[in-house]
Amino acid sequence: MITPSAQAPPVLTIAGSDCSGGAGVQADLKTFCAYGCYGAGAFTALTAQNTTGVEDVHPVPPSFIEKQVEMVLSDIDVKAIKTGMLFDAENTRAVVHSLNSHYTSKRKPPIICDPVCVSTSGHTLLHPDALEVLAHDLFPLTTLITPNKSEAELLLSQNGFPTFIKTVEDMISAASRMILVFASGAVLIKGGHINTSVEEIRSLEEKNPQIRVIRQGLLGDNMEILLISMERIDAAVNPGLVVDVLQERGGETTLFVRPRVESASTHGTGCTLSAAIACSLAHGNSLIGAVESATAYTHLAIETAKPIGKGHGPLNHLHSTSKTLIPSPTTRNPYPFTRYLINNTASSWKAYVEHDFVRLLGKGTLPRSAFNHFIIQDYHYLKYYSRAYGLLAAKSSTYAEIGSATQKVLDILHEINTHETFCQTFGITQEELESTPESTATTAYGGYMIDTGLRGYGEVGLWLKKEASKEGSWVLLENNPYKKWMDDYSGPRYQQAVKLGLDVIEGRALNDPPTPARLDEWRSVWERCTLLEKGFWDAAMEHA
């Protein structure tokens, strides 16, 4: 999360120009703006490029680079500096000389070096003779260097350590080697070109408990409701991951793990990440905090980008400047409002989804008396549920909204038919369903739902389904008397109904963004509904 201070700290980028606007100084300045920083820029080279590639590069004279840096630093109290494409040895020396000249007696601000060597399209952006100057003159001045896989391999190989990076473990070894070989304060190896998985990261953690792992954007516990199809559940259980490895000189290793985003909008990713780190440091954050913020910011900039150009398009640098409290939906996060609600009521939500009633039901050991009480009360509850959607249809102002609410009522009526058939298999007659009075929990929940909210059992069915898919699962499917109930609530028809409900609340939140007070009210409603839903399980267990 971007948390700028009250002031706009000045940040300087020393890098090349991208006339198409997606990388270089142009990308840096957009990132500075998004982070609430004042941006200054010294150009090292002009490029003729677009999203399809680099056509030509025109270097800026070294003396003029020094003059630009001198003019900025002599006038402005810069709080962080980042370097990008430096082009050749002479220009790299000019940058080193200008920094050393200015900070002879002053403490240098954090300096982030993005050792840009090759563009995404394969164009060489750093002359080979510049590598030695970069490694032996510039790196010792830096707080952090941010090579990608290819740049880390190149830098180590050029300094006598032939390296091939294919796994996350290789990245960790390479980062540790770079700390020993180069005098930088820390190294962040970017893992965009390395494929890994949840299982590989879990195994690595078990073998290396001293390594810190920061997970970003991955589904937390009890978020199966956000997936609504088995394909998505499988993808969430073991998604493709991107991992960045931070190695600090003190020996601490930190992994930043997030879902891989399949996108062609990746032009300027390295520039953006290093610029974001510089900004976060300028705001006074720790190095780990700065990298965590910057990796999350860059990930969302890729995920929310719209296609621009015919090749690798630019990131959406200004995604964080939106004033809404709820982010826009993305492919990876189609239900951001629901995710917010689950995250901010985590203990209540977990108590509901992983209730003893649900666990015993999954094991097939739930007492029949408890389930019979629940299933009869659920029959009464569904009347409230259908009336709530009828009320929503009455309040809707468009045919699409009326149709959506009406379809939900039809889904509930179908569920009632299934419900009655299921009850018969447990010896519960239609007369017993109608004559058994509502419990206090049912009446309280039903009345509250009519006034304020809508809910269901889709998340419980999906959680049991996910647990059942794990090797050696505690969930019993064979000869489980409650298997049909689990199948119904994790099946495609009910999950489509869940999706319909999610689409309704997400659409309302997106079209009518809440104020902080209103969002907190919505969170309270969600939590109250969750606790009332849990009350259903509690009441059933009292009859066990």
Residues 370-427: pLDDT tens digits?
999 988 998 888 888 888 888 888 888 889 888 888 888 888 888 788 788 888 888 8
CATH superfamily for domain 336-542? Heme oxygenase-like (1.20.910.10)
**324 carries an active-site annotation:** no
**Catalytic residue (one of 269, 272, 298, 442):** 269
**Catalytic residue (one of 41, 268, 313, 458):** 268
- Report pLDDT for 245: 98
Tokens of 337: 């409002």
Q: How far does CA 457 lie from the centroid of its chain? A: 26
Give the mean model confidence (pLDDT) for residues 60-71.
Answer: 98
pLDDT of 510 above 90: no
Residue 81 bridge partners (DSSP): 12, 111
Kindly list the domain boundaries of the chain, sorted by start residue: 10-191+262-304, 336-542
Q: What is the DSSP string of 304-368?
A: TPPP-SSSSPBP-TTGGG---SSPPP-SS-S-HHHHHHHHTTHHHHHHHHT-HHHHHHHHT-S-H
Which CATH number is associated with domain 10-191+262-304? 3.40.1190.20
Give the mean model confidence (pLDDT) for residues 8-24.
Answer: 96
Q: What is the DSSP string of 159-197?
A: TT------SHHHHHHHHHHHHHHS--SEEEEB-TT--EE
pLDDT of 230 above 50: no
- Report pLDDT for 4: 47
356-366 pLDDT, tens per residue?
999 999 999 99
- Report pLDDT for 400: 84
322 pLDDT band, cuts 50/70/90, is: low
Of 22-26, 223-227, 303-307, 423-427, which range is least confident? Answer: 223-227
HSE, CB side, 13 Å, CA atoms: give it for residue 62: 12
- Report pLDDT for 149: 93
pLDDT of 70 above 50: yes
pLDDT of 248 above 90: yes
- Report pLDDT for 110: 98
Q: How far does CA 365 lie from the centroid of its chain? A: 38
- In the 8-state DSSP scheme, what is residue 87? B
Tokens of 135: 């490694």
**Catalytic residue (one of 79, 149, 190, 534):** 190
Three-state DSSP class for residue 23: coil
Task: Pick the more confident residue, 456 or 438.
Answer: 438
Distance, CA of 255 to CA of 215 (rounded, Å) = 8
Nearest to 309 by CA among 513, 487, 53: 53
State the angle between helix axes of 356-363 and 368-395 in degrees (0 to 180), rounded to the nearest 10: 120
Percent residues over pLDDT 70 in the chain:
93
- Report pLDDT for 262: 86
Using a 10 angstrom Cβ sphere, with 0-12 exposed, 13-18 middle and 19 or more buried, the burial of residue 1 is exposed
106-144 pLDDT, tens per residue?
899 999 999 988 655 555 667 888 899 999 999 999 999
**268 carries an active-site annotation:** yes
**Catalytic residue (one of 13, 254, 266, 442):** 266
Task: Pick the more confident residue, 452 or 9.
Answer: 9
- Report pLDDT for 174: 96
Nearest to 499 by CA among 228, 246, 302, 295: 228
**Catalytic residue (one of 270, 313, 456, 461):** 270
**491 carries an active-site annotation:** no
**190 carries an active-site annotation:** yes
**Catalytic residue (one of 37, 117, 271, 529):** 271
Tokens of 52: 């399809």
Give the mean model confidence (pLDDT) for residues 465-480.
Answer: 86
Q: What is the DSSP string of 263-297?
A: -S--BTHHHHHHHHHHHHHHTT--HHHHHHHHHHH
Q: Is there a contact between 370 and 540 (Cβ–Cβ < 8 Å)?
A: yes
- Report pLDDT for 401: 82
295 pLDDT band, cuts 50/70/90, is: very high
Task: Pick the more confident residue, 71 or 501.
Answer: 71
pLDDT of 1 above 50: no
